[in-house]
Structure 1
Amino acid sequence: MVRIAEVRFAGINVTPKTNWSFVEVRTEDGRTGTGECTLANHEAALEVEIARLDAALRGADARDRNAVTRVLVHAPAGLVRHAAVSALEQALWDLAGQEVGVPIWRLLGGRLRGRVVLYANINRGVAERVPAGFAAAARRAVDDGFTAVKLAPFDPFVWEDAAEPAQRAAYAQGLERIAAVRDAVGPGIDVMVDCHWRFSAGGAAALVRDVARFDLHWLECPLAEANLAEIRRIRSMANDRGMRLAGAETLAGLAGFAPVIAAGAYDVLMPDIKYCGGHEEMRRIAALAQVHGIEIAPHNPTGPICHAHTVQVCATIPNLGRLEVQFGETPLFFGIAAGAVPAISGGAAPVPELPGLGAGLAEGVAAERPWRPMGSPWLDPRLG
């Protein structure tokens, strides 16, 4: 028996607008497994939820993942609960690999590839949020070896306020940002656009028509997943114009993804290992998606532990596209970590060979850089 001694929360501030959140599971034999549960502006709730897990799981067997990490779509704490459980599951896999001396992917049945192709999410690396600022960030990513870049160009637009002149100007500027990135990277680079659920159904239809000239690889999360019929209609419009539709980054569990898959809502599903339930649940989601001919491109724009875990599971998924990675947000991506975090440059990440995850948090970093409330979050609170 491998008894859990402690489940603890670690929130770390990495930029004036970004905290990353983690779970560390310590066992009585002195080992530590690490998972990531970053959920912007919900650090205090995560800390409370993980304290509840700590009280419930002390003395439990760390090998009993099936018993302690079940995903309940109707969980009262919602995405906070799912993030905490997903990070716990990650940490337990880390411990399992450490125990037998093999990487996580080996315990998941073996890898299908030795490297995972990446795309660069440049959004939070853009300080000057003008078209030229987005273009410069995109060029830096291409110069670093990426063959695909993603931007989120429409802040501060929200469809509920679309009648206001300032919102119309924000939409127009969003199109200018996309045009600048397309011109900067040229025709040989894939460009993806993340909409962060900013549009109504009618607005999303107009958006598809307006962005068709930019030869996008995909359009992501144009509207909330509550209306699958409208998302399916938008997908059809996008496909007719040579674009894929991508989304579902905040859903949890196979039960959360199954209706989306059945509805044919997306060409590309983006489960996030921080929210979907962890390694095994992501693999179940990917398997169901494969049956329906749907590609998996996991959501992964946060910290180094999420990245390291997602590379491990991506090594085992047949219907994998590119994996997202944050680009240019902060050098602390590597600075807060210990061990070997897979690369985020050169357009691909090697699949690790070290036991377990092969990475963790640097000693004392959570105390040195404690999380702090964000007065100016990246997203309008109405968007999640």
Structure 2
Amino acid sequence: MQTLKITDIETEIVQVNHRGNWLFVKVHADNGTIGVGEASHGRDDDRVQHIIDTVKPALVGWNPFQLEAFRQRFYRDTESHTYHTALSGIEQAMWDLAGKALDVPSYQLLGGKCREKIRLYANINRATVDRSPSGFANNAERAVAEGFTAIKCAPFDDVSVANISRGSLTPAICLGIDRIRTIRAAIGGDIDLMVDCHSRFNPGIIIQVAKELEDLHLFWIEDAVSLDNLDAFAHISRLHWDPDCNR
């Protein structure tokens, strides 16, 4: 095992816009190498930084190659999303340090790469300050002009539990549908369009929404229901995609 030791851990926030910032973690090693990880979207950047500062004394002198020991000591199922965001940023930086110490890409330590290149899409959600359908469409058009062939949006962020409990397409849901239709009209049919729902729906409502959008040929509908409800995902997939299933 490499005899590398952590000497310091620091964070850096990069300002993005009113919807949030990027938070990076820098783990320093005694050979001068710096590993970089990301701990953004932890719901509270100040809290993420506090957690990192709290665990740092225990990690000074730690060998970044001891990744499994790090997980066993610090990861806890009972802790919050914010806590695990902080820990994941540190772990990413440790993988980066290990790869740099061995002079190989980090993906090589994780079993090797599966493809030669990765297609990029433009996620326009955070950049869209004007949340009207035309505001979404304008940003989508701008991304296509910059060369992107796939666009992702999150048009249902106004939808709440109260909306989906009614069992029908409420104004907030219809606004999201209008946003998607306006984007598709602006970018044309040759650009792939993806929709992120941020777990806003239940199975019954997302099936209705999917039927409303069927003619737009979406590339995917992402995160429609709670991520830990696998039965709901299976139910949605069976009802929407199986032509022989009794709807």
Q: Please say if 1:158 is aligned against 2:151.
A: no
Moved over 6 A (4+): none
CA distance in 1: counterparts of 2:19 and 2:28, whole angstroms: 30
> Which of the residues 73, 78, 81 maps onto 1:79?
81
Q: Percent identity, please.
A: 35
- Which amino acid counterpart does residue 133 of structure 2 have in structure 1? P
CA distance in 1: counterparts of 2:134 and 2:73, whole angstroms: 43
- Which amino acid counterpart does residue 174 of structure 1 have in structure 2? G
- Counterpart of 1:178 in structure 2 is 180
Instruction: Quickly say closer, same or farther: Cα 1:70–1:76, change in 2 above 3 A.
Output: same
CA distance in 2: counterparts of 1:45 and 1:92, whole angstroms: 21
How much has 1:152 moved relative to structure 2? 0.8
- Counterpart of 2:30 in structure 1 is 28
- Which structure's CA Rg is the greater one? 2
How much has 1:81 moved relative to structure 2? 2.9
The 5-angstrom pairing of residues 26-175 of structure 1 reads: 26-70=28-72, 74-162=76-164, 168-175=170-177
CA distance in 1: counterparts of 2:21 and 2:42, whole angstroms: 7
The 5-angstrom pairing of residues 248-327 of structure 1 reads: none
Q: Deviations over 1:160-214 (max 9, x none)?
A: 24579xx922221111111111112222221111111111232222222222122
User: Any gaps of 5 or more consecutive residues in structure 2?
Assistant: none
- Which amino acid counterpart does residue 137 of structure 1 have in structure 2? N
SS in 1 for 2:101: helix
Instruction: Quickly say closer, same or farther: Cα 1:146–1:94, change in 2 above 3 A.
Output: same
Please report the RMSD computed on the Cα atoms of aligned residues, expressed in angstroms: 2.4
- Which amino acid counterpart does residue 103 of structure 1 have in structure 2? P
Instruction: Quickly say closer, same or farther: Cα 1:238–1:147, change in 2 above 3 A.
Output: farther
- Counterpart of 1:314 in structure 2 is none
How many equivalent pairs are there? 239
The TM-score with structure 2 as length reference comes to: 0.86
How much has 1:117 moved relative to structure 2? 0.9
SS in 2 for 1:89: helix
CA distance in 1: counterparts of 2:70 and 2:48, whole angstroms: 17
CA distance in 2: counterparts of 1:69 and 1:227, whole angstroms: 25
CA distance in 1: counterparts of 2:77 and 2:47, whole angstroms: 14
CA distance in 2: counterparts of 1:30 and 1:10, whole angstroms: 18
How much has 1:5 moved relative to structure 2? 1.0
Contact 1:3 1:28 in 2 (8 A): yes
Instruction: Quickly say closer, same or farther: Cα 1:30–1:74, change in 2 above 3 A.
Output: closer
CA distance in 2: counterparts of 1:188 and 1:25, whole angstroms: 43
